[in-house]
Structure 1
C-alpha cells in the first residue's frame, strides 16, 4: 500500500493500481527510445504487473502500532513482504518469462547483495537462481544491454507513477517528496543526466526530457480517510467499505 499523510487525512493507493498506471505510461514510451521491439509487450506486462505481489496484501490493510498509520510498502514486515514478492514474481513469470525476469531484477534491486540479514540473503540467492535459469533457457534474454534498458524503463515508469501517488497534486518542487526532488535516477542516451518531473498545475505533470510519443492521461484510484477513524474502528473494515475516488492526471512535455 502507498500511504500518504496530510494533516489529519490519510490517502491510500493500492500498489497494483499504481503498477497499472506505470504500465499505461509504458505504452506511450517513444518507439525510437525502446530497443528490443519484439519483447515490448512482455516489458509492458512486467511494468503493469510489477507490483502484483501486493494485490492480496492490500485487500487486508493493517495498522502499524508504532506509527499509528496503516502499514505502507516502506515499513511492511519484511518476511511477509518477501514471501509476497516471490509469489508475485511467480505469477508474472507464469504469464511471461521475460516479464518474470524483469520483476525479479526489480525486487532484488531493493536490497544490498552484501546484506547479512539471512532472510534477505536467501531471497537474493533464490532470485539469482531464477534469473540464471530463465536466461539459460532463452537466448533472447541474454542481451545485457537491451535487458538493462528495459529494466531502466520499468524503474522509470515505477518512479514516475510513485511521483503522482506520493505527492500532493500541484505541489511546489521544494515541497515534493524528497525521493524525486532532484529528478529520476535512470539515465539513457537521450537523457544522460536523467529526467525530471514538475507539477504544472494540480492536474498536469511535465517531464523533461520528454520520453513519450505524445501527451496522455492516466487515472489513479485512491481512498482517503480521517486518521481518527483508524483508532476507533477496524482498518480493514473501514477500507473495504470506503468507495474509491479518482485522480486524472495529464503527462506532458515541459
Structure 2
C-alpha cells in the first residue's frame, strides 16, 4: 500500500482479526508481517496518505457508505477538520498534492451533491473551487438517496442504496433494479448520474451490494465465489422482492438494468424470473 520512511518497513494490506483488510507493517529485512496499523471492523482499508515533508503516515482511508479517514497524526486531523468545516461536509477525498506539500486537491461529492474539485493552499489555509463536474445541476434539485438493509432467503444480511424521486411519496413507484458490475465492484453513497437521471424521470432505483461485492470484508467477498448467476442472482431477486414488499415498488412496473456483470444479471433476471420484471436492458453484458 505504501513505503514507510523507515527503509526497512513497507505498509501492506492483510486480513485483520475482524475479517476485513487492514494495514500492517512489513519488515523487509526480517521478511515478516509486523504490527497492525489500522483496521475497520466492517470495511476494508482503501489507501494511505503521507506527509513527505514531515515524514509521517497521516491516515488511512476506508470506504463505507462514503470515503472516511482514520487519522494517525493529530496535526493532519486538525487540518482536515478545518477543511471539512469550510466545505460544509460532503464526501471529501484527497486526490493529490504538490511535491512541496503546500497544496492539495480534494474531490468532493455526495449522494445528493454533484462532484467538485477544490484546491487547498496550506500556507494561507485558503480553499477554492477549481472545477464543477455538473454545474448545470443545482444541489437542491437532486433526488433523495437512502441506505437500505434486508435479509435474503437464507438469512444473509445485505445492504444497498435506494434513490427516490425528489417529490411525492415513496409508494407504488415504477422501479429499476440496478445491479453493479464486477461482480466484485461495489455501490456507495457517492453522486451517481445514472440513478439521478432515472429518479428525475420518476423512477425509484435500487442498488444492492450482493455477495462478492468488494470492500466489505473477506467473508462477504468469498460468499460470492463461483456464485455468478446463482446466489448472487438470488440476492438481486430477493432485493427486488423486498422493495415490492415494502410497498415502494409497483409490482407491475419493475425493470432491471446494468452494465458488464450488471448487464449479465439483467439478462439472467429476465430469464429466471420473467414474472418479476416488466422489461430489462443490458449494457456491455457478459454473455
TM-score range for the pair, normalised by the shorter chain length: under 0.3
- Greater Rg over alpha carbons, structure: 2
TM-score (norm 1): 0.28
- Name the structure where strand makes up a greater proportion of residues: 2
- Tell which has more relative contact order, 1 or 2 (C-alpha 8 A, sep 6+): 1
TM-score (norm 2): 0.25
- Name the structure where helix makes up a greater proportion of residues: 1
